[in-house]
């Protein structure tokens, strides 16, 4: 048998890199197209994400998405505020609630551009958050939850403000009259009648008429009254009627209010009531009537005779005469 020659191993053979080539068979490792189910799933996910993004954009644009805005980005005086007086006890309760539970209801704002927002409604909540942030320095009080509104015009913005205050805390007739008059002065409405009809469209005609009467009080005494929001309906209507009847009454009332400087709502109302009550003309004092020489009948309740003639003899004669009358 021939003997095979065994050659020594080539050292470079094992050192050379392997030229990996794919091998056919059931375990083929070449990339394959993704399954139809996987493609469909990815498409559905992308569609869902687009839908969510679109819904968020729509919610933000339509004012349905609550946003967190910096307190200093809100312009409080964007609208003339309708509320004049703030109940101190209610304010303290609101501050305590926000301190304990955070802001529960968003305010309403309008986008003014350049990162600024005009306040429509929620003035008390904004004031409470500002007070808490100044007191504590806590970052959670440095922002406010807000709904971005897109009112068709200034009139709709004023309507939103009035409606919220009517629902939440209620406005006095003077405050209602004031906001209608101020909105008209600023050209938001072409006339006071239009302002009253739009701002208070959900109240009765009788109530709207009373608010209109209070406009007379606002126009005559705004700035002179210290507690105008506290004026009750009956006094306000009487005041409006008197002002319409006497054009000189307004200046006289302003002078009297400035001189008296009432320190409470009750004192101011008492002063107004007194100024509205006409003084009764003083009757000149009656003079004694001389019934006979030396006998005078003095005026006043009862019967009183005086004079030098009213002596003991006269009293006896008078007593006898009176007994004879019975």
Instruction: Write the pLDDT tens digit of every residue in 251-279.
Output: 999 999 888 888 999 999 999 999 888 76
For residue 180, give the nearest of 152, 217, 146 by alpha carbon: 217
Three-state DSSP state, 147: strand
Give the domain-ending residue among 234, 254, 275.
275
Count of Cβ atoms closer than 10 Å to residue 76 Cβ: 13
* Burial state string for 259-286 with b = 16 or more CB within 10 A and e = fewer than 16: ebebeebeebbebbeebeeeeeeeeeee
For a pLDDT cut of 70, what percent of the chain falls above it?
A: 68
| Same domain, residue pair 117 and 188 | no
What sign does the dihedral 109-105-164-152 (CA atoms) show? positive
| Same domain, residue pair 143 and 231 | no
The CATH number of whichever domain residue 249 belongs to comes to 1.10.10
**Structural domain of residue 103, as residue ranges?**
57-152
In a domain, 49, yes or no: no
**pLDDT band (50, 70, 90) for residue 77:** confident
Count of Cβ atoms closer than 10 Å to residue 249 Cβ: 17
| Same domain, residue pair 146 and 178 | no
In a domain, 321, yes or no: no
In a domain, 24, yes or no: no
Give the domain-ending residue among 229, 248, 275.
275
Task: Kindly give, in sequence order, each residue whose CB lies less than 8 Å from that of residue 305, ignoring residues fewer than 6 positions away.
Answer: 291, 295, 296, 297, 298, 318
The CATH number of whichever domain residue 91 belongs to comes to 3.90.1530.10
In a domain, 93, yes or no: yes
323 burial via Cβ count (<10 Å: 0-12, 13-18, 19+): exposed
**Residue 309 token pair:** 């003639």
Instruction: Write the pLDDT tens digit of every residue in 4-50.
Output: 555 555 555 555 555 555 555 555 555 565 566 665 566 666 666 66
Eight-state DSSP code of residue 108: E
What sign does the dihedral 75-110-80-134 (CA atoms) show? negative
Instruction: Write the pLDDT tens digit of every residue in 87-117.
Output: 777 788 888 888 988 888 888 888 888 889 9
| Same domain, residue pair 61 and 107 | yes
Task: Kindly give, in sequence order, each residue whose CB lies less than 8 Å from that of residue 204, ignoring residues fewer than 6 positions away.
Answer: none
Instruction: Write the pLDDT tens digit of every residue in 199-218.
Output: 888 888 999 999 999 999 99
| Same domain, residue pair 194 and 124 | no
| Same domain, residue pair 227 and 137 | no
| Same domain, residue pair 95 and 146 | yes
| Same domain, residue pair 181 and 245 | yes
CA 273 vs CA 61, 244, 257, 277: distances in Å = 52, 16, 12, 6
The predicted pLDDT at position 39 comes to: 58
Report yes or no: 126 and 107 within 8 Å, Cβ to Cβ: yes
In a domain, 281, yes or no: no
In a domain, 128, yes or no: yes
In a domain, 234, yes or no: yes
| Same domain, residue pair 143 and 196 | no
Lowest pLDDT segment from 132-136, 206-210, 300-304: 300-304
Alpha helices in the chain (DSSP H): 11-15, 36-61, 88-101, 123-136, 154-168, 173-185, 192-199, 205-221, 233-245, 249-260, 265-276, 312-325
For residue 108, give the nearest of 182, 40, 162 by alpha carbon: 162
| Same domain, residue pair 121 and 192 | no
Task: Kindly give, in sequence order, each residue whose CB lies less than 8 Å from that of residue 72, ignoring residues fewer than 6 positions away.
Answer: none
In a domain, 178, yes or no: yes
For a pLDDT cut of 90, what percent of the chain falls above it?
A: 22
Of residues 141 and 19, which shows the higher confidence score? 141
Question: Count of domains in the chain?
Answer: 2
What global pTM score does this model have?
0.56
Report yes or no: 231 and 174 within 8 Å, Cβ to Cβ: yes
């Amino acid at each position: 048998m021939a003997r095979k020659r065994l050659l020594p191993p080539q050292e470079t053979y094992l050192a050379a890199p392997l030229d990996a080539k794919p091998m056919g068979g059931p375990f083929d490792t070449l990339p394959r197209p993704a399954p139809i189910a996987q493609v469909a799933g990815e498409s559905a996910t992308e569609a869902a994400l687009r839908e969510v993004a679109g819904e968020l954009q729509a919610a933000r644009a339509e004012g349905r998405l609550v946003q967190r805005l910096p307190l200093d980005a809100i312009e409080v005086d964007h609208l003339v505020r309708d509320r004049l007086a703030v109940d101190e006890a209610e304010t303290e309760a609101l501050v305590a609630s926000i301190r304990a539970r955070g802001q529960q209801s968003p305010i309403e704002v309008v986008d003014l551009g350049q990162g600024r927002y005009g306040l429509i409604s929620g003035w008390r909540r904004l004031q409470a958050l500002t007070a808490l942030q100044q007191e504590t320095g806590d970052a959670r009080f440095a922002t406010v939850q807000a709904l971005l509104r897109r009112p068709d015009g200034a009139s709709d913005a004023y309507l939103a403000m009035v409606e919220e205050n009517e629902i939440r805390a209620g406005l006095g007739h003077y405050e209602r009259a004031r906001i209608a008059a101020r909105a008209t002065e600023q050209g938001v409405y072409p006339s006071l009648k239009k302002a009253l009809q739009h701002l208070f469209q959900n109240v009765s005609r009788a109530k709207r008429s009373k608010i209109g009467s209070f406009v007379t009080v606002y126009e005559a005494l705004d700035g002179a009254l210290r507690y105008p929001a506290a004026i009750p309906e009956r006094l306000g209507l009487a005041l409006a009627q008197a002002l319409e009847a006497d054009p000189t009454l307004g200046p006289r009332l302003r002078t009297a209010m400035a001189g008296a400087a009432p320190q409470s709502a009750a004192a101011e109302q008492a002063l107004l009531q007194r100024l509205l009550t006409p003084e009764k003309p003083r009757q000149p004092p009656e003079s004694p009537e001389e019934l006979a020489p030396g006998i005078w009948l003095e005026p006043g309740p009862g019967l009183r005779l005086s004079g030098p003639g009213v002596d003991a003899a006269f009293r006896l004669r008078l007593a006898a005469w009176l007994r004879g009358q019975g």
